[in-house]
Structure 1
């Protein structure tokens, strides 16, 4: 029988010596970037940003809460600072087709300058042009045009009037228009007199009137032609006078942008339109109510008459230091691609190019945009729109109404803006896997993945780098400096959070929260620095706020509502250890596991599985127990066992195989009819060879059983059996370590079922001798004998029932 020694106290928690850190406070420590320990991910990001070919966008893989978004943004800002500021974009009016505004690409620093230059151009023309139309020569020529048009109109009416008078017909103007009436001695004939005329005379007069009506219609149809000719003449006159002044002003403006061809092309179009519409400068601005309404929403178009010459600055990077880094927190369709706004006027929606609003892709153009994958996937139409944009390398403004075919309002169709941006999606590994397998376009558009680590090796060098990270967080959050004792305890807590004494967690969010709370408690005590007491208080405070459920569970065990023994012995009964939790808070919860056996057909009943409370991993562990029994006992006989296993007082689902060793101990105890110590608890999975394998949550499981024993009073005999391979994961609470050091509690590292059953029962497990038999007083010998008895009993039963034939 091999005696297994419990672990010493110094193995249970890997300490960090404050003296080894060699600093007083983090104020003496230089900051570092947040990609510490992320070499693989950083290399992937550098590659994706440097690769300029299409499709090399980036997907950052990492669990929520690890601060990946902040780390990535910080990394991108470093990269962007070395880049040139991207070009700027403006929308201007298309003077030929107003519903398709044109987009202009301008070098950095020119968009606002261009807008201001156009405003200055209009202001100058508003002063210069009206003076041209105040001269006597202009008035005389305008009067001549109006007089000519009036003369043409009057002549047409006079000719018709003369012809009507010759036929004794008068032309009368009524509220409804023009009318004809017969006359006698230059007086209109009354209706009753006209009706008294003979039929032939009435028909003659009516025929004359009908002919005159046709001629009147011809005259009236010609009036708009005369009016159009008058307006064209006035427009030509205005253009003739305004042409030289407009050309001079536009030339002065063009000189400011002589090296920017798109602006020069636009100014040529604007010049022609200004000349054509020089009459706008003679109006008072009160005629176009729609323009007035729109101008109130865009103050830069100060005079509604000249809104058509405005410049809508979509993206201006004049003050930018390098490329843009945009963090899109709400990636709706409109927030990504921009939108065209409308205003309601008398039940009608109106818009123009000045109401085109940019999206985050416009602002990030030439730089980088960071989006949470989960958010964009849950926004209607946003994901498909982003993919279309990346495929086409152009930003085309879309609306949700258009996507579903509900758009009935006439709207704009602006020119798309060429896209040059790196899209960085951040999401969990499961989400990445789903996109790879379910979206065939995803891998073509996001060819690079940056897989973030959640922890790294705990070495002296990495502990020092962790302190640099603490210093960076303190600087970013404007917290008090952390002294060496506080940093050492925080390193231990980060290792404990990783669940591994040889690893350090890279969960920046957790570290940041702890530092914020420790800073609060340091301030509460009027301290200038954060010490270990403040960190400890922050840790304890976080636990206390979340442990109500744990307290209720432990209270139920204290009151024996939940049955857990921490003293004595029992056959077929063992204390198993599991973890449970609420949200992100997990704790250890002991569970009683029992086994019952009798003669049977080799069936091992997992009651949890039978009632559908056991998951597939738990069921796998139970099946391994059957394999272990078949391989080690009654080898020359069929397994003639019926056994049941159950987690007592378990009312929720159970999964995982971490209790399979405990179940096997209970089963062996029931078969050997040897009691198991109840002052010990067990965790660990078992394989077919009887080796005890590592499990998760080992610290919480040990502490869970310790808490129950401590509440009832530590006896010095209590302890926990854990897989030996879990020893490197131990980062236990200080009170547990102190109890072990004082000899009041024990943690046994177990390599095999043989070692565990010996500790639990006090009997040797047993090893087969050369004849293939186990020692009579060993656990395995007793189990083997019991199973042989079951086999013999089953054979005898079969002979009695079936005439000597065993049908199984």
Structure 2
């Protein structure tokens, strides 16, 4: 009945057909006309980049190292160069509310022009204004105002002094101000002389002094008014003089921005503020601008984004997308022990730099930065960038800060991430689907056929050229293609993981240059592959050594009932390798329970536990469909001390159980891998190449006998890309690879005994494995019935006595009527 297939060498490794490669070296090959194998992703990118509506941002799916960023930078870079450069943005001072800087939007290149012209304007004002105020014309006008004030002052006090003399009172000017003193005969009297005067004269003088004092106080109150008037006239003169000096300079700047009303309004405000602060320019030495002087920095222009029209749209990639790197920040400077700031200390973020263009971000890095993801979403939803300090938002600091006007945002965001990250965000973050409507899912592999062989060769040539590597010969390219099929885990596919491809080409180039070759040959690729494996081989070698020394018990000859060699794959530091593991089963009379020791010890994963329950269901349906289950069994992976996960050992576990039940030994020269379903069909598993090679390496170290081999699912034949030494051993008949499709095929191959086919009554052929299993289960069932009959009789007797005792106790109780009597 067997349909077991012993695989021929050509099934174990699919080599390249030389007719698909019509070149001598890759120097002859042109660049690929398109991105190889990524048609779906390219169409998604075209749609996502082309639609300008809200939410049509891109999320590029695929594993790290798949070349997503390189492809996007190439596509978006070419598109950005063909687009118009975005408008520039700058912050300027709001002279009425300095803590709320005003944002100006200007055509490309104009913000930088405004910045330079404003700096030049300030420099010119610092020269022109002092020179204007030092001119003879200004001095003459200022002196005229001063003279007029002084004359008015002197006339007023002279008139008061003359009137005082007429009343025999002297008006005396002292360093402390003015005072009034009595006079007689034109001379000022001292106190004794004043006391010697007749009383009537003293009374007259005192009355005069009282009246004059009121006039003096009134006159002294008038003096500040005159001073204010003088200052106003001087200020008015200064404004007139400054306006004459400033207006033509500001007009020169305005001529370049007459088409921008907001800039014109800003320049008008600058002119008014300069006139209000003209004294600051007069006090500044010529050509000197004190560092940190806000009087002059208030006229500067802080450019956030500006580029020439010929440069196209910006493309920004941020490798550290922190909150501040994304939205910008307001810096502070220390001054007299206090942190202060102004609008010139506003620093742009990547959203500012990418405004009008494209921003590329790694999604996992965005999520690792506190508040970065929320800030990005808020900016995209509101279509504006608002600079806010986290420290101020959470009241962590108390410093002088700003509230910059938000800047309108028009950016296409491209996120890169693994597939699990995309699907997790899609399910858990309701905002994600609204903002990133276009997933660009990069393919992991490429179908392997003649046309794609040629395309892949051009891809290899392109990667080699882009990294400055030696050209590859045809044989070298063929070996690279075969290795990329191995990396894809499928003989019918080619891996599109660009980092793996580039690493292989670089290392092959190293070996070719080491032997001073002009081109990379097949031997260089082989050496590079071997070196990559050797760097990660320490753990595998230690495990194989433990098996050879008998520390880990793995048999590769003989036969044992209830014991089978399973296969597992482990991965360390990017390198995967396979190893055999002993799986044992014990069976006895029970109630149909299969105990998974790994699960009971909490060393079994969910998938492994599911696989054990599946094979238990298969056993019950296959052998106990007409009688109650009477089997108890236990399964375990011997000498494993970590978690066992996956279902690829379920065929091996089933064979161990069947062997234990039938007492038919299993050949230890064979190892088996595969998953089983409830109908006994063997299903495909992963890591088939590594698993075969792991058992082969152990057998080769002990010596190949021609009896050893591995049993795999038939569905895995298309995945085989075994090492060349394994293929050579199979071709020489020293090692074998078998493919099976059912549990019976695997059992028959492992035991060498026919599995047996059931007839119409469900009876298996005599001496078959299945017949022996049924016989053992029948024995268990008979033993269970024999044990159950006396137990049932004992239980019946126990129930009869219990009922009799209950009746006796009830009869002994007095009736209600008896108690009444």
TM-score (ref. length: structure 2): 0.87
Structure 1 spans left out of the alignment, 5+ residues: 190-207, 296-303
Q: How does 1:544-693 map to 2 (within 5 A)?
A: 544-693=534-683
Task: Classify 1:634/1:315 alpha carbon distance in 2 versus 1 (closer, same or farther; 3 Å).
Answer: closer
Give 1:500 deviation, angstroms: 0.4
Q: Where does residue 772 of structure 1 map in the other structure? A: 762
**2:108–2:306: 8 Å Cα contact kept in structure 1?**
yes
2:219 is the counterpart of 1:248: no
Task: Classify 1:405/1:442 alpha carbon distance in 2 versus 1 (closer, same or farther; 3 Å).
Answer: farther
Q: Where does residue 725 of structure 1 map in the other structure? A: 715
SS of alignment partner, residue 585 of structure 2? strand
Task: Classify 1:742/1:95 alpha carbon distance in 2 versus 1 (closer, same or farther; 3 Å).
Answer: same
1:325 to 298, 305, 315: 315
2:48 is the counterpart of 1:48: yes
**2:126–2:286: 8 Å Cα contact kept in structure 1?**
no
**2:425–2:432: 8 Å Cα contact kept in structure 1?**
yes
Task: Classify 1:55/1:715 alpha carbon distance in 2 versus 1 (closer, same or farther; 3 Å).
Answer: same
Q: Where does residue 94 of structure 2 map in the other structure? A: 94
Task: Classify 1:169/1:589 alpha carbon distance in 2 versus 1 (closer, same or farther; 3 Å).
Answer: farther
2:2 is the counterpart of 1:2: yes
Task: Classify 1:227/1:356 alpha carbon distance in 2 versus 1 (closer, same or farther; 3 Å).
Answer: farther
Give 1:740 deviation, angstroms: 0.8
Q: Where does residue 420 of structure 1 map in the other structure? A: 410
Q: How does 1:7-26 map to 2 (within 5 A)?
A: 7-26=7-26
**2:20–2:451: 8 Å Cα contact kept in structure 1?**
no
Give 1:364 deviation, angstroms: 0.5
Q: Where does residue 204 of structure 1 map in the other structure? A: none
Q: Where does residue 431 of structure 1 map in the other structure? A: 421
SS of alignment partner, residue 309 of structure 1? coil
CA displacement 1:2-28 (0-9 Å, x = unmatched): 263411111111112345311122222
2:733 is the counterpart of 1:743: yes
Give 1:113 deviation, angstroms: 2.1
CA displacement 1:573-625 (0-9 Å, x = unmatched): 00000111213211101100000011111111110111111111111111112
2:464 is the counterpart of 1:466: no
Mapped partners of 2:511, 2:654: distance in 1: 48
Mapped partners of 2:712, 2:219: distance in 1: 109
Q: Where does residue 509 of structure 2 map in the other structure? A: 519
Q: Where does residue 298 of structure 1 map in the other structure? A: none
Mapped partners of 1:585, 1:358: distance in 2: 43
Q: Where does residue 281 of structure 2 map in the other structure? A: 281
CA displacement 1:547-581 (0-9 Å, x = unmatched): 21111111111111111000110010000001112
Q: Where does residue 294 of structure 1 map in the other structure? A: 292
SS of alignment partner, residue 344 of structure 1? strand
The root-mean-square deviation of aligned C-alpha atoms, in Å, is 3.4
**2:20–2:454: 8 Å Cα contact kept in structure 1?**
no
Mapped partners of 1:743, 1:145: distance in 2: 120
CA displacement 1:605-648 (0-9 Å, x = unmatched): 11011111111111111111221122121432211011110000
Mapped partners of 1:505, 1:329: distance in 2: 26
SS of alignment partner, residue 803 of structure 1? helix
Q: Where does residue 80 of structure 1 map in the other structure? A: 80
SS of alignment partner, residue 555 of structure 2? coil
Q: Where does residue 346 of structure 2 map in the other structure? A: 356
**1:235–1:277: 8 Å Cα contact kept in structure 2?**
no
Kindly tell me the number of residue pairs found equivalent between the two proteins. Answer: 772
SS of alignment partner, residue 527 of structure 1? coil
Q: Looking at CA atoms only, which structure, 1 or 2, has the larger radius of gyration? A: 2
Give 1:151 deviation, angstroms: 7.9
Task: Classify 1:160/1:350 alpha carbon distance in 2 versus 1 (closer, same or farther; 3 Å).
Answer: farther
Mapped partners of 2:189, 2:573: distance in 1: 102
Q: Where does residue 64 of structure 1 map in the other structure? A: 64
**1:33–1:469: 8 Å Cα contact kept in structure 2?**
no
Q: Where does residue 782 of structure 2 map in the other structure? A: 792
SS of alignment partner, residue 574 of structure 1? strand
CA displacement 1:652-710 (0-9 Å, x = unmatched): 00111110000000000000001000000000000111110000110111111011111
Mapped partners of 1:774, 1:183: distance in 2: 152
**1:157–1:219: 8 Å Cα contact kept in structure 2?**
no
Task: Classify 1:228/1:507 alpha carbon distance in 2 versus 1 (closer, same or farther; 3 Å).
Answer: farther
Mapped partners of 1:418, 1:105: distance in 2: 9
Give 1:377 deviation, angstroms: 1.3
Mapped partners of 2:219, 2:786: distance in 1: 126
Mapped partners of 2:189, 2:62: distance in 1: 100
Mapped partners of 1:9, 1:500: distance in 2: 16
Give 1:734 deviation, angstroms: 1.0
2:484 to 483, 490, 494: 494
Mapped partners of 2:54, 2:463: distance in 1: 36
TM-score (ref. length: structure 1): 0.89
Mapped partners of 2:522, 2:169: distance in 1: 118
Q: Where does residue 366 of structure 2 map in the other structure? A: 376
Q: Where does residue 265 of structure 2 map in the other structure? A: 265
